[in-house]
Amino acid sequence: MSVSMVLAGRYELREVLGRGAMAEVYDGWDQRLGRAVAVKVLRPEMASVPQTRRRFESEARLAATLNHPNVVAVHDSGDDHGAPYIVMERLPGRTLLDELLAGPLPVPRARTVLTQTLDAVGAAHAAGILHRDIKPGNILFDADGAVKVTDFGIAKRADTDHTTAGEVLGTVAYLSPDRITGHPASVTDDLHAVAVVGYEALAGHRPYLGDTILSLARVIVKGQYRPLAAVRPDLDPALIAVIERALSRDTERRFASATQMRKDLENPRRIPPPATRVIGPVPVAADPPPAPAQPRRSPGAGVIVAAVAAVLVAIAAAALAIASQDEDSTAG
């Protein structure tokens, strides 16, 4: 869709590049500096929701504090007559999600994508920022194929409590067991998400499978997935060990930092496999078998159902928002 308007007397908005539940992203032109930009504008109906507006403004502030080659640069932000916006560097638009449509990545390419993603995540963590929504759709590439992590819309500073225990944010398939059961976000949750992306990049599908949100959440909480070696027996066992260590449902077994995980990706070493691996395929239509107990916690069925209820409520709210947006667009 082609549009023609100037935002804040400076940013010419051209084609709509993408629409989400909360915002639209435009192909833009900075008339003052004479350069291509991407402009993210909060949808009017979302701008009137205080919490959504705060998250949008927080995204701009947090992303702007990161000056890193693997993070999408934020050039400016503001409000034009009640329309909050974020101005970012313009990229070709290709994402890891697009690349994975063609199947698993070659191992060297997968390593590069993962190490550069960890560089971005590590830079965010060093600045005290948790991303909380690492997934293929938020991993973009520049013209040279280098990673650019984007969408800090639900990110938060590690030393703040904007998200309380029990509140679940993020894309379910990439959430750690801790987040699904309502524990506060931590560094290891971002690393778990990177590991899910790594498994997906190497196997061609995500580790955790489920035909409903509830069955998917149960599989994640119980730490059950088909071992990567069973899917890709040709892979270096040491590389597999790095991915599966970060997937462990026990936070104490995961990597303590992005730097540590990156180091082991570049120089794989023998790492004991997680104790909760499931040997063989995991049935997704029925409830999976119970996993061995972990030292830190073993949530019961009641805890899992209660925690997943929060996920379902969040998804339902998002679905209603999207549906209402579709009605608005067809009405116009």
Residues sharing a CB contact under 8 Å with residue 126, sequence separation 6 or more, in sequence order: none
pLDDT for residue 176: 94
pLDDT digits (tens, 9 = 90+) for 275-325: 444 434 433 333 333 333 344 444 555 555 555 555 555 544 443 343 333
pLDDT digits (tens, 9 = 90+) for 169-213: 558 999 999 999 988 889 999 999 999 999 999 999 999 999 899
Residue type at 199 in one-letter notation: Y
CATH architecture of 96-317: Orthogonal Bundle (1.10)
Give 185's DSSP letter: P
Q: Give the active site residues.
A: 133
CA pair distance 244, 240, nearest whole angstrom: 6
**Domain spans of the chain, in order of start:** 2-89, 96-317
Report the pLDDT value the prediction gives residue 279, as an integer from 0 to 100.
38
With contact defined as beta carbons under 8 Å apart, do 114 and 201 qualify?
A: yes
Local structure of residue 71 (DSSP, 8 states): B
Give me the pLDDT at residue 292, please: 39
Q: Where does 2-89 sit in CATH, by number?
A: 3.30.200.20
- Of 296, 187, 198, residue with least CA distance to 244: 198
First to last CA, the chain: 13
For the entire predicted model, the pTM comes to 0.79
Torsion-angle region of 186 (φ positive above 0: left; ψ -120 to 50: alpha; else: beta)? beta
The answer to whether the beta carbons of residues 195 and 203 sit under 8 Å apart is no
Nearest Cα to 10, choosing from 38, 36, 31? 31
Count of other CB atoms within 10 angstroms of residue 320: 11
